[in-house]
Chains A and B, each alone.
Chain A
Amino acid sequence: MRLLRMKPGHGEVLIAEGDIEIAEQEQELIAAFRAQLEQGMWAAVPVVAPDGRRQAELVRAFDEVPRDAERVIFFPRAAGGC
């Protein structure tokens, strides 16, 4: 699983990468995940729906991330603009 973060001037940046089935690496992923949420990021997991449509799931905790997810994308939380 890879944790990616969108950044101005960069595109996506790799925050952490690891095998969720290996306890030590899972703990590192969890720590990195929490750190991003504490910085005010939103977390999304791109998925394919049963009907084949692409969509995303917004997750608020690491245990909401599907175990087979390949990546979690963090992006700054939405704010009213214009």
Chain B
Amino acid sequence: MLVALGACAVVAIVLAAEVGASAVKRSLVGWRVRVASGRVEDIAAYDPGRERRAEQRARELLRSCVGDDDWAMYRDLGFLRVWGRAGSGMRAGHGVAPYAYLIYPHKPIVAYVPRSARLLSEYCVAFPDGERPYGSSRLPASDDVLAKWMALTGDEQRLIENANLHLAGRQLDPHAVRADIAALDRWERERLQRERRDAGSVPAP
């Protein structure tokens, strides 16, 4: 009698487990379908032509705001350098600011010491648009750079307070950043030499 009852109990447990597993399996499949359909919608909303046009407009806006030198820097090197507030009034060739920032599109802002190329810290900051037009909260790359530039030159303290501070090297490869700093030095030297050469040259009759 006890053996029969035990066997019945085992069968009941196995059946319950089977039914439960099926229900879990069904809900998992449903979740996967929902997730997958969400991805399909995101992909459908992504239009490379629209993104390209948006980036082109963003580049024009950036160019109109930052001036010729900084625009050339961004166009040639892919990033902008902004002097720290303590270096206000100093420019390349006229003195070295105590610290400066490198602004990359959709990457952390890097603070460094121009005199030694020592990396100080990374400031992770984003400008997410809650309206998410076309399903994305990300600004075009050049708008992201311009937003960082405006915030840094307009109110450095406010931007830094809103950013997540990390040691240099957490997100960006320090070797790559130092290579960028070296490239910036070369770029500025060559530009200065070109300007001097052009200023000293006598136009052909």
Interface residues of A (CB under 8 A from B): 4, 6-12, 39-40, 42, 44, 46, 51, 53-58, 73, 75-82
Contact = CB atoms under 8 A, between A and B. Distances in A.
B133 A7 contact: yes
Given A10-B57, A46-B65, A57 B138 contact: no
B55 interface: yes
Interface in B137-162: 137-140, 143, 146-147, 149-151, 153-155, 158-159, 162
Given A11-B61, A79-B127, A55 B153 contact: yes
Contacts of A40: 130
Interface residues of B, number: 53
B162 A56 contact: no
- Tell which of A12, A51, A57, A78 has the most Cβ of chain B within 10 Å: A78
Contacts, number: 134
Contacts of B164: 80-82
B58 interface: yes
Contact of A79 (B56, B57, B125, B166): B125
7 smallest A-B Cβ distances: which pairs? A11-B57, A82-B124, A81-B126, A80-B164, A56-B150, A58-B154, A55-B153
Interface of B: 47, 50-51, 53-58, 60-61, 64-67, 70, 89, 91, 108, 122, 124-134, 136-140, 143, 146-147, 149-151, 153-155, 158-159, 162-164, 166, 170-171
A72 to B, nearest CB: 11
A20 B9 CA distance: 84
Contact of B127 (A9, A46, A53, A75): A75
A54 B58 contact: no
A56 B70 CA distance: 14
Contacts of A11: 53-58, 60-61, 140, 143
Given A6-B139, A82-B171, A76 B151 contact: no
A9 B65 contact: no
A76 B53 contact: no
